[in-house]
Amino acid sequence: MFEGKKILITGGTGSLGQALTKRLLEEKVDTIRIFSRNEEKQVFMENKFHDKRLRFLLGDINDLERLNRAFEDIDIVFHAAALKHVPKIEYNPFEAIKTNVMGSQNVIDACLHADVERAIAIGTDKAVSPLNTYGATKLLMEKLFVTANNYINPLKHRTKFIAFRYGNVFGSSGSVVPIFIEQIKEKQKVTITDPQMTRFSITMDEALDFILNATTYGQGSEIFVPKMRSYHIMDVVNSLQNIIGNHGQEVIGIRPGEKLHEVLINEDEIRHTWEYNGMYVVTNPHYTKFHGKEMKENYTGITKLTDIDNYSSAFSEKISNKELEIMIKNSGLIN
């Protein structure tokens, strides 16, 4: 699937972009173009990988002309660029709309202009029944991507637009684990928003496997969601304190826009969801290419999902405390 391909990653200097780059370089790709507006991270990443197949392009997804130039001769686009910090976005909502929504439409237009083979939008659980502006913008990004296939004229374009949806990678900069670790090391109380909170768990390696598999299988217009287990936030806190030290806990209350449980597929989407090869496939009801018989023809062994009302961290299989301690020790976050 990836051997000999020319690939571009928007927001490629982020944690996911760097991990994806490392994995793709193992797949014998022809070229990877890293597109981002952070020159310092580009220099760091160039020195880190030191690979002749890497190209670093400064640019902003709000600049369509720059995107058109960057996408020339590209086969696959991974769209990971976004404004993501929830409080900052709540204070500056239209900036997130410009980047996460209008910028994503620019990416779609540039993909069509360059006639790329596949375009993949990297989404988030916060797009499901969103409570904050960030989630709302990512929901719109998903909608733009899965409906972009309606524009395709097979005689003129080959692009397949696909969306992925999953939560924070365990221990990543966007998750709460590094914050807990820092508090414990500073001999502070661990601040807990709500003891009942649950979250899905996915490691970076699992996320990368999911991304590459779904990219390979996707036919266009689907949202792919990985099958995951979840954990109670208190189990993570207790595991960390068992490993590093215990200086107490403090409940500070749930923050505005924060959910008690992660939901990756809501009750309305379940009606359009299928189960396939360790993943869930949410089809677009406004795109008629893949329904019923067509799904089974294009995905060997796919089955309609009928046994759950929604896909929530509250009800999914939980990770044991022993497994959590192993994950923490293997995360590289504890020196």
185, containing H or E segment: helix 177-185
Q: Which of 5, 6, 126, 259 is catalytic?
A: 126
Spatial separation of the C-alpha atoms in residues 76 and 115, rounded to whole Å: 10
Active site residue 52: no
Q: Please, what's the b/e burial string for 179-206 (b: 16 or more CB within 10 A of its CB; e: otherwise)?
A: ebbebbeeeeebebebeebbbbbbebeb
| Residue of 60, 73, 62 lying closest to 13 (CA atoms) | 60
Q: Is 96 exposed, middle or buried (0-12, 13-18, 19+ CB in 10 A)?
A: buried
Question: For residue 178, how many other CB atoms are within 10 A of its CB?
Answer: 14
> DSSP for 103-133?
HHHHHHHHHHHHT-SEEEEE--GGGSS-SSH
Q: Catalytic residues, which ones?
A: 126
